C-alpha cells in the first residue's frame, strides 16, 4: 500500500514533477538511460496490442488512442500512430510535450491534443478512446489516485475499448524510490487496484528480453 511508504502526498507529487523537469527530453531520458531497450519494448507491445485489434465480434477499434505519461511521444510515435487514426498525449512535463511536436515529425499532425497534466488530475473524455495506454507512470500515483484514475479511464473507453498498463513490478509489497519519487508495486497489489477500479483483466504478460538488473515488467489489458 502506498499509504505505508508515502508520508506526504503533496511532496510525493511535487518532488516527482521537479525530477522530470531535469530529465533530458530524449528517448534515453524517457527510459532512464535504457534507451537501447526501446525497440524490444515497442515490438512486444505491438504484438500484445494487435491481438485485440484483430477481426472478431469484440474487436477493439483503431480510431483514437490516449498515451498517458507520454513524455516526448516515444510510444505515440512508434506504437500508437502506426495503428490508430488519431492519438492524444498527456504528460505532467510541458518541455516533453513541446519536444514531442518536433520528435513526432509529419505523423504528429494526427496528434489531436497535448494535455499537460498529472494523471491524478486528468479525466479522459468519456466514451472517446479505443485504447488508453499507461506505461511506466503508475508508480507516480498513490493507490487511491491510481484507482480513481482507472475508473475515469473506464468511462473514457469506447465500446470494446481497452485500458493497458505496462510497468515495473516489485517482487513483494510496495517499494519507494526516493530519487524520482515513485513507487513500485508487486503484482498482487496492482491486480487489487485494477479490481477496485471496476475493471476486468483480459490479459497479462511478462516482458521478455529486458536486462536482468531491472525490475520485471508486466503488461495488463482490461476493460
User: Residue ranges per domain, the chain?
Assistant: 1-220
- 48-86 tens-digit pLDDT: 999 999 878 889 999 999 999 999 999 999 999 999 999
Burial pattern 3-22, b for ≥16 Cβ within 10 A else e, equals eeebeeeeebbeebeebbee
pLDDT in tens, 160-176: 999 999 999 999 999 99
Give the CATH number of domain 1-220: 3.40.50.150
Count other C-beta atoms under 10 Å from residue 115's C-beta: 17
Q: Cell for 51? A: 491481438
**Binding site for S-adenosyl-L-methionine: what residues are annotated?**
69, 74, 91-93, 119-120, 135
Binding-site positions read: 69, 74, 91-93, 119-120, 135
DSSP 146-183: HHHHHHHHHHHEEEEEEEEEEEEEBSSSEEEETTTTEE
Query: How far is Cα 88 from Cα 115, in angstroms, rounded to an integer?
Result: 8
Amino acid at each position: 500500500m502506498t499509504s505505508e511508504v508515502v508520508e506526504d502526498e503533496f511532496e510525493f507529487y511535487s518532488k516527482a514533477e521537479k525530477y522530470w523537469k531535469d530529465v533530458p527530453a530524449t528517448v534515453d531520458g524517457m527510459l532512464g538511460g535504457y534507451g537501447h531497450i526501446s525497440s524490444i519494448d515497442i515490438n512486444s507491445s505491438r504484438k500484445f496490442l494487435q491481438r485485440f485489434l484483430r477481426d472478431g465480434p469484440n474487436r477493439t477499434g483503431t480510431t483514437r488512442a490516449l498515451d498517458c505519461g507520454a513524455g516526448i511521444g516515444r510510444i505515440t510515435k512508434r506504437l500508437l500512430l502506426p495503428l490508430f487514426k488519431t492519438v492524444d498525449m498527456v504528460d505532467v512535463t510541458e518541455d516533453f510535450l513541446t519536444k514531442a511536436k518536433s520528435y513526432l515529425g509529419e505523423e504528429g499532425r494526427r496528434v489531436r491534443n497535448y494535455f499537460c497534466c498529472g494523471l491524478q488530475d486528468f479525466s479522459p473524455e468519456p466514451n472517446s478512446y479505443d485504447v488508453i495506454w499507461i506505461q511506466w507512470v503508475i508508480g507516480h500515483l498513490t493507490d487511491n489516485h491510481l484507482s480513481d484514475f482507472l475508473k475515469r479511464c473506464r468511462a473514457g473507453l469506447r465500446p470494446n475499448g481497452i485500458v493497458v498498463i505496462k510497468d515495473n513490478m516489485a517482487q513483494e509489497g510496495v517499494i519507494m524510490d526516493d530519487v524520482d519519487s515513485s513507487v513500485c508495486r508487486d503484482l498482487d497489489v496492482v491486480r487489487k487496484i485494477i479490481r477496485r477500479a471496476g475493471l476486468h483483466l483480459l490479459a497479462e504478460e511478462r516482458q521478455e528480453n529486458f536486462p536482468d538488473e531491472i525490475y520485471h515488467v508486466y503488461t495488463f489489458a482490461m476493460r
